[in-house]
Amino acid sequence: MKFGTKAIHAGVHPDPATGAIMTPIYQTSTYVQTSPGQNKGYEYSRTHNPTRTQLQDALAALDNGKHGLAFASGMAAIDCAIKLLQPGDEVICTDDLYGGSYRLFTKVYAPYGINFHFVPMHDMTAVEAAVTERTKMIWVETPSNPLLNVIDIAAAAAVAKKAGALLVVDNTFSTPYLQNPLDLGADIIIYSLTKYMGGHSDTVMGALVVNDDELNEKLAFYQNSCGGTPGPQDCFLVLRGLKTLHVRMQRHCENGRKVAEYLNSHAKVEKVFWPGLESHRNHAVAAKQMRDFGGMLSFVLKGDKQADAIAVLEKFELFTLAESLGGVESLSGHPASMTHASIPAEQRRKSGLSDSLIRLSVGIEDAEDLIADLKQAIG
């Protein structure tokens, strides 16, 4: 199937009991058994739920994977993946990753003896140099949040394979519409389904997608044992969102290009971070592994003053100042004080995340209105 057809049909089927074309919300905690251990495939909804099963199958299909696992949040999905590690293991991570991931790694798991090394990944030389005999996982976020750095997934996969490590790719910014990391050699894909996959700013969820049966068995064991699973209502909302993923992402990409090009030519803008610009570092890699360049971008004003950035954020009318991203509406954010506040200032600045950086999630409104909002806010 082509992607649009797959988004609507793959992994899902009409309800066998009623013929309902939309997967029903199976709002139940438990299931009748005819005899101990004899059931219709479902015993308890932390372990399995028919609505969640449909969502997991759909997620796997969109990424050309075999197995999908849904979680109550993106962080719960990340937490599950890290449980594959043991004390003494080492993880090589993108140095400008999402602040919530950094907090989980350094504040929750580092005290248990798992070591995280944050390196720039625009050049695989730095990644190769960080590999040791204890390296068990390479953690890639591409494009990264919020600097939109692009990492060569196939090259990272080669390094991981040589090291005998798992390659994990956070594909939240791209979605399977723009790139499919499993096809490029990744072992695990991570999503915050809260963002583009759900797409309507009305649910919080996460997911993992894998191909390997043994790896899926381990992750599913942790998913069930630790219990960070989503309810059927949220699964229903994301299933609904997936059906329009392709048309929404196309519009996000179109608007993202128009906004990026406007900002790139603005007299008061110093730098724009968007993978579709030819001036963007590793634009060539993005053009090779992505089908388009998405609706996420960030920029810095000339003078690089935080007060100027905050003044712009306060003037926005359509680019609503709020956490999160990927909804149909346009959002703006100040990573240093919002999404990445948990990262120490020294670490943020080292990775290039200045205190004046503004991040935009470009929605699917009319681009002319979005540009007019930028014009009045920046001046």
Q: Over the stretch 89-129, which tens digit does the pLDDT of each residue have?
A: 999 999 988 989 999 999 999 999 999 999 999 889 999 99
Active-site residue among 26, 63, 79, 98? 98
Block residue for tokens 């101990």: 36
d(CA 72, CA 46): 11
Block residue for tokens 């020294």: 346
pTM of the model: 0.95
Active-site residue among 79, 89, 95, 170? 170
Q: Is 213 a catalytic residue?
A: no
The number of C-alpha atoms within 13 Å of 340 and in the hemisphere containing its C-beta is 28
Strands, sheet with 358-361, edge to edge from the N-terminal-most edge strand: 269-273, 296-301, 358-361, 331-333, 320-321
Q: What is the pLDDT of residues 8-41, one digit of tens each?
A: 999 899 998 899 999 999 999 999 999 998 998 8
- pLDDT class for 378, splitting at 50, 70, 90? very high
Q: Is 302 a catalytic residue?
A: no
Q: Is 98 a catalytic residue?
A: yes
d(CA 245, CA 193): 11
* pLDDT higher than threshold 80 for residue 366: yes
Q: Is 195 a catalytic residue?
A: yes
- pLDDT class for 336, splitting at 50, 70, 90? confident
Domains of the chain: residue spans and CATH: 3-240 (3.40.640.10), 245-378 (3.90.1150.10)
Q: Phi and psi of 285, rounded to 5°?
A: -65, -45
